[in-house]
Structures are given as C-alpha cells and as structure tokens.
Amino acid sequence: MAKKGRELDWITIKYKDIYGIILVLAALGLIGGGVFFYWRWHGNPKIQAERALTKAQRLQDTMDTPDLSDEVKATLRQTRTMLQQARNEFAAGHFPKALSMANDVLETLKNAQASSSTSQKYATLVTTEGQVEVKRTGQHLFTNASEQMILEDGDIVRTGKNSSAQIKYHNGQIQIISSDSLVVIQALSTSPAGGSLIEVALKQGFVETQTPETMTAKDESIIATETTKVRPAAASRVGVGQAANGDVTTSIFTGAGEIEAAGRKETLQAGATGVSVVTTSTGLGQTEALVPPPAADTPKDQQIFRLEDPVHQPMVFKWKGGGVATRFELSAKPLFSTLLTDQTVREDDNVTVEGMPAGTYYWRLRTEGDDKRTFWSPIYRFRILQIYQRPKIKRDLKLSVDATPIGDGVILQGTTDPGVSISVNDIEVPVNADGTFSKIVIFSDYGTQAVQVRAFDDEGNETIWRKQFQSVSSY
C-alpha cells in the first residue's frame, strides 16, 4: 500500500511540473507578444513617423483658414514645405529623420496656433436650427443668432424648444448645444501651461463636445456647471447635461474625460460601450456602462453617390449589429431639427429610403431603450450628385496629384481649380481655398490597391486620376 502511495505522489509531482512549464511558456508568450505589439505600435520608427505625419497634416488643415494673419499664413507656407520634405524622407525609408521633421512641423504649427490672435479671440456659430439667440457681452437683450456669427468671451447662447446650435472653435473642437439650453463662452484664451484654453459654462440643458486629435497636454477644454467641471481628452466625444435639480450627468461616448466635483477628480475612459456618471454638490456617483449604438456601414461618412436619376433610385442604409431594436434618423439638416422620414425603429440592420433628390444628407443611429443609457452614433454625412448627360457649362478641370506610398497606405497631395470638389475612392476630401488638398489613405488589405481621385463640379464636369499601389506589411 505504501509503495502505491509513493507512485501516486511521484505522478502527482510530475503533473504539477508539466502544468508549471505550460504556465511559464504561456507567460513568456504573453510577454513576447506584448513586446512585439509595443514595438509594432509604439517602438517602430515607421509607425511613429506615419502617426506624426498624419497629426501634422491634420493640424495644418485645421489652421488653414482664410482669416489668418499674414504672419501665420507665412508660417503655414513654411510648414507645408517642411511637411513635404518629411514625406520625401519617409518615402526614401529614412523614418527617424521623417519623424523628427514631422515633430518639428507639429511644434511650429502649435506655436503659431498659440500666438495667432484670431485663434484666441473667438469661435464661430456655424449652424443654427430653430430658435437660437445670442446675448453679447455688455448687452442686456438677446438677439436672433445667425450662422457664421462670431462668438467671443462672455457671449451667451440660448436655444429654444426643438432648436439646436453648433459652435466650432479655433482648434477644430466642435460643440453641439441641444434644445432648451443656455451656455456662456467663459474663456477663449491661453491655458496656464501655454496651450489653448476653451471654457464654456453650462447653465441649463445639454451640450456635446467633440475634441480634435491634435490637442496636446498643454491644451485644455472645460465644460463647467455650478458643481462640476468636465475636461474632455483629445479625440473624445463627451456629453454634459444639467437637470433642473442641479444634478449633472456626464457621459463619455468615446475617448476619455476628467470629472471634478466636490474637490475630487476622476478620469473616466469610454471603453467599448461608453460610460456615464452623475455628480452633485456632494461628489461623484457610481459609474455606469452605456449601451452603444450600432456602427454604420453604408453610406459612409463623407461618401459621394453619383446617380443619373436619384429621385427614383432607392438609397439603402446599412449598419452592423442587427437583431436589436435600432432608431434611425435621416435629415437634410446637420442637427436633425427636421426629419425626412419618421423616426424608424428597426429590428434588422437596414432601411431603404426612396425619393431623395440630389443634395447633402445626414443620418445617425441609436439603440432603442432607456434614453439615460443609450446615445446617438456620430453623425454621418453624405452627398448625392446627379450625373448630367451633357455638362451645362463644359470646362476642363485641373487635377494634379502627387502620391507617396507609405507601406500600408499612400499620402496624396494635389491641386485643382478653386471651388472644385474632390473625392478619393468616392469619399469627399476638404479642398482649401487655393485648390490644394491632401489625404492619407490607409489600405485595409495587402496586395494591389486601387486609388481614384476625382475632381468634379456641379455642372457634371470631372477629371479623374487613377493609380494602383502595392500594400505591404509594416514590419
């Protein structure tokens, strides 16, 4: 009996050794994978250079507006040349040098942004729908707002029932003011760290803030209420609502944000679902997960459809995540004050709409359920253009494109005639006042990839540039 017991102990010890070896190998595999992915996304000089080039180009596009001072315009011309040199170094495989040059461009642009008098003084009321009023600093009465109105420190914006407004700030931040809301532009100045400061006081109602990726640690965005301060991080989408009893609900839809209340600060990450928290004069409540909306599939944001007879051609809207009740809204107005279809709740993952003439449209999705736990998707914009059989005014459109392959994509820079529209693979691209444009295309697969750039106008004229590229691995 004792002999059998000793054999059992030996077997048991051997099994433990085997399990230990497996655990060690698994741990080594995880560590190795972590090191690989860190190198792949953070330590790889090529990836770092790609990201720096993308950030620099986005900041350049954000700052390139007609109302800049001559000094800032001269700086933008200089950084545009520096950015092209950085791309050339990238194309030649000199990734550390391209990274260094792109970072220099970023620093130069940020310094110009901080010193620009126009970027520090005002924001723009880009869209108003319904009853929107503004009270200027020093005035006693509200007056009707108008689109493209300039807002300065101390100005107050008020929206009525079923009304809304959209404000765009100098750094590219977007703020949507919902109905029955009152906000005060507290500060458009320089932060204590030397970056940009945007502070808005929410007195009643709800605002949604979308911050740009180009925000830095020196920049600061604040939505303040009587009891709470919310600081959205870069590339975040954050909603702040104040109830009649003074309670404040902060929702982090994407990205992150810092919430400060009753002397306590807490940073919340949206994660995969989004989160919300209620704050009062006594502090922060319990964080709750939200129910995210389905992801739009088609039409894609900024997509262009060229149709011969759009009114009689049905438009199919599709999204991912079918099987749950989904609210669908379609409008010709960017803030959805009027809908082209009744609010439709769908159990499947698509809806078909007929009778849409040429024009610009907006659509969004929301999972059906408790309004306190669900939220709208980003707003997707698309255009329908009617193809003319014969151009009304025939002209040759200029289109010049320089393409720099970057392994997993291509950097496009080009020029066209001022006032002409540009699309890249049927996705609309912003065109500067002088006709220049740029776009970084990231390929979703390996192998041969086709890129098509189209210059077109409202008369049916168009010029097309096509080229194929080889998408290769980044490592």
- Boundary residue ending a domain (83, 118, 153): 118
139 and 277 in a single domain? The answer is yes
230 and 179 in a single domain? The answer is yes
Q: For residue 383, what are its two tokens?
A: 């255009």
State residue 88's pLDDT score. Answer: 83
As a whole number of Å, the end-to-end CA separation of the chain is 61
332-381 pLDDT, tens per residue? 999 999 999 876 777 788 999 988 999 999 999 999 988 889 999 999 99
Cα–Cα dist 454/444, whole Å: 21
Residue 459 backbone dihedrals phi, psi, to 5 degrees: -90, 0
State residue 31's pLDDT score. Answer: 63
415 and 280 in a single domain? The answer is no
Place of tokens 């959205």: 232
State residue 167's pLDDT score. Answer: 96
For residue 24, the enclosing domain spans: 8-43
State residue 475's pLDDT score. Answer: 40
State residue 135's pLDDT score. Answer: 95
146 and 261 in a single domain? The answer is yes
Torsion angle, alpha carbons of 218, 219, 221, 227, to 10: 20
Q: For residue 49, what are its two tokens?
A: 């250079």
145 and 281 in a single domain? The answer is yes
State residue 36's pLDDT score. Answer: 47
Residue 356 CB neighbour total at 10 angstroms: 19
100 and 133 in a single domain? The answer is no
Q: pTM of the prediction?
A: 0.72
State residue 32's pLDDT score. Answer: 57
101 and 177 in a single domain? The answer is no
343 and 408 in a single domain? The answer is no
Run of H or E including 355: none
The answer to the question of residue 226 being in a domain is yes
The answer to the question of residue 391 being in a domain is no
Give the CATH number, domain containing residue 451.
Answer: 2.60.40.10
Provide the number of structural domains found in the chain.
5
State residue 138's pLDDT score. Answer: 81
Place of tokens 């006032």: 419
Give the CATH number, domain containing residue 263.
Answer: 2.60.120.1440
Low-confidence ranges of the chain (pLDDT < 70): 1-21, 24, 26-43, 65-70, 113-121, 322, 343, 389-392, 473-475
